[in-house]
Amino acid sequence: MTGDDASERSEEPQTDGGATGADEVALDPWGSSSVSDYRKLFEEFGIEEFDEILPEVPDPHYLMRRGVIFGHRDYRPVAEAMRDGEPFAALSGFMPTGDPHIGHKLVFDEIIWHQQQGGDAYALIADLEAHSARGLSWDEIDEHSRNYLLSLLALGFDPEEGELYRQSTNRAVQDLAFELGIEANFSELGAIYGFDGETDVSHMQSVVTQMADILYPQLEEPKPTVIPVGPDQDPHVRLARDLASRMRAFGVTTAYASFEATDAELAHLSAAYEARGEYAEEAETPRCEEAAAWLAGAREPDAPALESVVDKLENAGMEPLRPRTRFLNRRAGADAFEGLIEAIDGEKRVFEEHVDVFDLEREEARELAREIELEYGGYGFLPPSSIYHRFMTGLTGGKMSSSIPASHISLIDDPEEGYEKVKSATTGGRETAELQRELGGRADECPVYELYAYLLAGDDDEFAKLVYDECVGGERLCGDCKEQAAELMREFLAEHQEKREEVEELLEAAEIELESPRRG
């Protein structure tokens, strides 16, 4: 904060705190932990940097261009489908625990943008989660849900081209959740979410329901699907990707012999096959026992999985060591397994629970497996993708939170109230105007600059850059900057609320229950 508005502050900024003792990158979908170092998400959780895929995205949204959307999991299939005019989908849910605020607008915008790019768009009200995990009454849920939906429509979601639904009234989602629950267990949920003996069953059920939400866009046909979320929701995405795989009738992997092998063992088998010219009596047909002897002598004795793979090779004896694509029977019935066997052309070896083929690449095998699975009534799910946006900093510092009114601006706040909240916001300015001019402001640490980058500059990258450059260059002082942002916020809220009134009839006509049948 600069000298020209330092007198406005009478106390230290509030913060959201965070879960006691939480790691800096603890990802808790229901907690208050925030992420202080997004780089650690790449290292510790395998989230990929979005900048690397940005050139592959046609007409990227400004949130992507400005680095607000900073990470992804497997977004490439969605980008490819977008470019090629192939089917894809986007889905995200909203837990109606309070008023929708400008932080929620990030997700609204991401869903709407994917719809505008030709995707099937889904927006759901996570009312079962709100009731079970947060204890909200159905009356409260209905009131908040209406506000979320009006803002979503006012921002541009097309309910005729997309789908709106509530968890509690979507029977297809509930049926899918039941099936997914067969593949999940308590110990797994405990490890992921910290559930223990005190966790109520409804809370656990709400997790499986969210997994069904994530996979719901693929019920009619498998297609790339992206889930736009904050990084705190990543545990849901990872579990959904695992369950999508477990629900597949067939798995497709690489093998080198008739026995099964772990990933670590496969690495040794691959090395042995590549080195076959060094040890095999006939280099074109190396034998398993020859590979076992070579591995035992050529690799470090304590290498992971070396002992187990040598044992398996020795037991396989004179069986040829030969690369092949393997179809694993995971959940297929006898008819589907027979159908797969019949559909495979060329050389194949059929075992009780798998089929090895020698003339089919893995990608072709995956497509064949999905085709047969769908033919016999399976799901054929593709692993869902995700994109991650940065948390908006609260106007008082810390993470923006619905539970701290001063930290956020609600989309239904009176425009004058929005103006005043921006005027009272914490900034990244220096202690005095002189230091600000000399050293420049700290735009990267400023909640007010975030308002420009995330919302107020809209699609105008040049304007967002101008504000940034003037701030860090010392030309822009916080008082003037906040006044401009406050005016823009007042205009945005007034326009948004006018649009909310205009879409009232659109919401009434939409195919979504606005009042829960569960109300008492």
Q: Which of 375, 403, 421 is the last residue of a domain?
A: 375
Q: Which of 356, 389, 422 is the last residue of a domain?
A: 389
Q: For residue 150, which phi and psi values (nearest 5 degrees)? A: -65, -40
Q: What is the dihedral of CA 230, 231, 233, 237, to 10 degrees?
A: 110
* Same domain as 226, residue 369: no
pLDDT at site 318: 97
* Same domain as 327, residue 234: no
Q: What tokens were used for 467?
A: 């504000």
Domain count along the chain: 2
Q: Which residue shows structure tokens 């074109």?
A: 284
Which ranges constitute the DSSP H helices of 168-217?
171-181, 186-193, 201-215
* Same domain as 184, residue 95: yes
Q: What tokens were used for 64?
A: 């992507």
| Residues 6 or more apart in contact with residue 162 via CB below 8 angstroms | 111, 115, 120, 121, 122, 123
Contact assessment for residue 249 and residue 222, using Cβ atoms and an 8 Å cutoff: no
What distance in Å separates the CA atoms of residue 433 and residue 441, rounded to the nearest whole number? 10
Question: In this structure, is residue 14 part of a structural domain?
Answer: no
- CA 50 from chain centre, in angstroms, equals 12
* Same domain as 55, residue 177: yes
Digitized pLDDT (tens) for each residue of the chain, 520 residues in all:
333 333 332 222 222 222 222 334 444 443 444 555 667 777 777 899 999 999 999 999 999 999 999 999 999 999 999 999 999 999 999 999 889 999 899 999 999 999 999 999 999 999 999 898 888 899 999 999 999 999 999 999 999 999 999 999 999 999 999 999 999 999 999 998 888 888 889 888 999 999 999 999 999 999 999 999 988 889 999 999 999 999 999 999 999 999 999 999 999 999 999 999 999 999 999 999 999 999 999 888 889 999 999 999 999 999 999 999 999 999 999 999 999 999 999 999 999 999 999 999 999 999 999 999 999 999 999 999 999 999 888 888 877 777 677 788 999 999 999 999 999 998 988 888 998 899 999 999 899 999 999 999 999 999 999 999 999 999 999 999 999 999 999 999 999 999 999 999 999 999 999 988 887 6
* Same domain as 147, residue 276: no
Q: Among residues 83, 35, 60, 100, which one has the least CA distance to residue 411?
A: 100
Q: Which of 359, 389, 419 is the last residue of a domain?
A: 389
* Same domain as 323, residue 227: no
* Same domain as 181, residue 64: yes
What distance in Å separates the CA atoms of residue 35 and residue 41, rounded to the nearest whole number? 9
Question: In this structure, is residue 401 part of a structural domain?
Answer: no
pLDDT at site 520: 63
Question: In this structure, is residue 440 part of a structural domain?
Answer: no
* Same domain as 288, residue 224: no
Strands across the sheet with 250-255, in order? 250-255, 324-329, 354-357, 348-350
* Same domain as 40, residue 137: yes
Question: In this structure, is residue 190 part of a structural domain?
Answer: yes
Question: In this structure, is residue 57 part of a structural domain?
Answer: yes
Contact assessment for residue 97 and residue 404, using Cβ atoms and an 8 Å cutoff: no
What distance in Å separates the CA atoms of residue 436 and residue 440, rounded to the nearest whole number? 5
* Same domain as 254, residue 242: no
Q: Position 137: which residue type? A: S
Q: Report strand pairing: 225-229 vs 324-329.
A: unpaired
Domain that holds residue 151: 36-248+383-389
* Same domain as 181, residue 71: yes
Question: In this structure, is residue 188 part of a structural domain?
Answer: yes
Q: Which residue shows structure tokens 């007198």?
A: 7
Within 10 A of 20 (CB to CB), how many other CB atoms are there? 7
Question: In this structure, is residue 450 part of a structural domain?
Answer: no
* Same domain as 361, residue 243: no
Q: What tokens were used for 113?
A: 């943008």
Question: In this structure, is residue 496 part of a structural domain?
Answer: no
CATH code for the domain in which residue 207 is found: 3.40.50.620
